[in-house]
Amino acid sequence: MTHTGRHFLQIPGPTNVPDRVLKEIAQATIDHRGPEFADLGVEVLERLKGIFRTHGPVVVFPSSGTGAAEAALVNTLSPGDRILIFETGWFSHIAWKQVAERLGVNVEYVPGTWRRGASPETLEQRLKDDTARELKAVVVVHNETSTGVVSRIADLRRAMNRSGHPALLIVDAISSLASIDLRHDEWEIDVTVCGSQKGLMVPPGLGFNAVSEKALAANATSKLPKAYWNWEEMLKANKSGFFPYTPATNLLYGLREALRMLDEEGFDNVLQRHARHGDATRAAVRAWGLDIVPENPAEYSNSLTAVYTPEGHSADRLRQTILEHFDMSLGTGLGKLAGRVFRIGHLGSFNDLMLAGTLSGVEMGLALAGVPHKPGGVLAAMQSLTASTQKTEPASAAR
């Protein structure tokens, strides 16, 4: 079956990369030690601060987001250090618990149902109980990409502050940055971890660490072996816009353009757009009569929606039908949600009609795959979208 037109890449990342970004990454590679590169480096590193909402440095690695997670750990911890990781889903497990353990860190994994975010109450209690101050860091996935559940970082921060515990706060913002409100400085996050391929609208291949003063202090004494991920030499070279080893120049071209685009749109508009699309998607799912993974409306994700298929109906079979018939990629269920959940990405370079096309693909796929549902999801989504759109004045016959 030959596909025509554009593929709908509606997994929750990598997201659709804008043409403006793609054309930039296709520009000729330049000398990464020359003056033209310095301009690129300085602009990118400065603009990143705005997106992470920090006045501190943001380190950029040629790596995936998983690499950036590893970097956060090796730069702040020592072998045998104890850290707290909240179980929020597949990525809290695979990208954090498993990585940390492989690096020789002692992980205390706070169990979770995958339908709720990290609990501020649990965190506060656990930190208060840690009178010996053994916990060196708390790791929270801001937006669990496997479930579409958001952990309330501001509340978690307040819980930490109430406990008076000095543990670092490490936040995985891989699928939240530039989509869902995230404030590195205001929320006193110590390391915010991200990748290029989600809200930042750049192809995969860049990892990020926004780093607090406290994290820098931890870096100075941390003993996990590190070379590639070492912040120290990065920050030194970054001062003049350079990197200690060859950076992924062409991806940085794309990042510069994406950061300019986000700036043109305006930070608040970016968040509001994702909120509109999150609302409209959930309206569609409700109309279909299907369930979503998150239980708490305060924890609904605006970058993706994970939807259960009814008992006895494979979500992967549905995804396959949609891919074959409508050339749209949706996210698979991960870990214990495998086969039971499909995930709709609605983040990054996106708009109302792309969302309408996306939801139409799901609605038609449900029909073709014989998954029980009520039609009308797209209609509900359109009503949600128009309700949140400013009405134009009544059309007159005048041209």
316: its two tokens: 């992967």
Q: Is 6 or 236 the residue whose CB approaches its own copies more closely?
A: 6
Q: Least distance in Å: CB of 29 to its own copies?
A: 5
For 10-51, give the DSSP string.
ESSSSPPPPHHHHHHHTSPP--TTSHHHHHHHHHHHHHHHHH
Q: Is 186 or 233 the residue whose CB approaches its own copies more closely?
A: 233
The span from the CA of 170 to the CA of 151, in Å, is 13
Q: Least distance in Å: CB of 16 to its own copies?
A: 7
The span from the CA of 138 to the CA of 190, in Å, is 10
Half-sphere CA count of 304, side-chain side, radius 13 A = 34
Q: Which stretch binds its own copies (CB under 8 A): 82-90, 157-165, 297-305, 381-389?
A: 381-389
Instruction: Tell me: does residue 216 bind its own copies (CB under 8 A).
Output: no
Among 209, 238, 249, 301, binds its own copies (CB under 8 A): 249
Q: Least distance in Å: CB of 284 to its own copies?
A: 11
Instruction: Tell me: does residue 316 bind its own copies (CB under 8 A).
Output: yes
The span from the CA of 261 to the CA of 44, in Å, is 12
The answer to whether the beta carbons of residues 184 and 162 sit under 8 Å apart is no
DSSP 92: I
Q: Which stretch binds its own copies (CB under 8 A): 1-9, 81-89, 179-187, 300-308?
A: 1-9
Q: Is 265 or 295 the residue whose CB approaches its own copies more closely?
A: 265
Please provide the distance, in angstroms rounded to a whole number, between the alpha carbons at the two ends of the chain: 44
Q: Which residue has the tokens 């070279």?
A: 237
Identify residues 20-39 at the interface with its own copies (CB under 8 A). Answer: 22-23, 25-34
Among 6, 128, 236, 374, binds its own copies (CB under 8 A): 6
* Contact flags string 129-158 toward its own copies, x per CB under 8 A: ------------------------------
26: its two tokens: 């296709």
Among 113, 245, 295, 336, binds its own copies (CB under 8 A): 245
253: its two tokens: 């071209």
Number of residues engaging its own copies in binding (CB under 8 A): 118
Q: What angle do CA 309, 315, 321 make, to 5 degrees?
A: 120
Q: Least distance in Å: CB of 116 to its own copies?
A: 26
Instruction: Tell me: does residue 396 bind its own copies (CB under 8 A).
Output: yes
Half-sphere CA count of 305, side-chain side, radius 13 A = 27
Identify residues 69-108 at the interface with its own copies (CB under 8 A). Answer: 70, 79, 95, 98-99, 102-104
DSSP 84: E
Identify residues 194-213 at the interface with its own copies (CB under 8 A). Answer: 195, 197, 203-205
Instruction: Tell me: does residue 354 bind its own copies (CB under 8 A).
Output: yes
Among 66, 88, 143, 301, binds its own copies (CB under 8 A): 66
Among 170, 180, 224, 258, binds its own copies (CB under 8 A): 224
Identify residues 256-285 at the interface with its own copies (CB under 8 A). Answer: 264-266, 269, 273
The answer to whether the beta carbons of residues 96 and 129 sit under 8 Å apart is no
DSSP 332: P
Instruction: Tell me: does residue 379 bind its own copies (CB under 8 A).
Output: yes
Q: Is 6 or 162 the residue whose CB approaches its own copies more closely?
A: 6
Q: What angle do CA 212, 213, 215 make, to 5 degrees?
A: 65
In order of 16, 121, 234, the CA distances from 64 in angstroms are 17, 32, 17
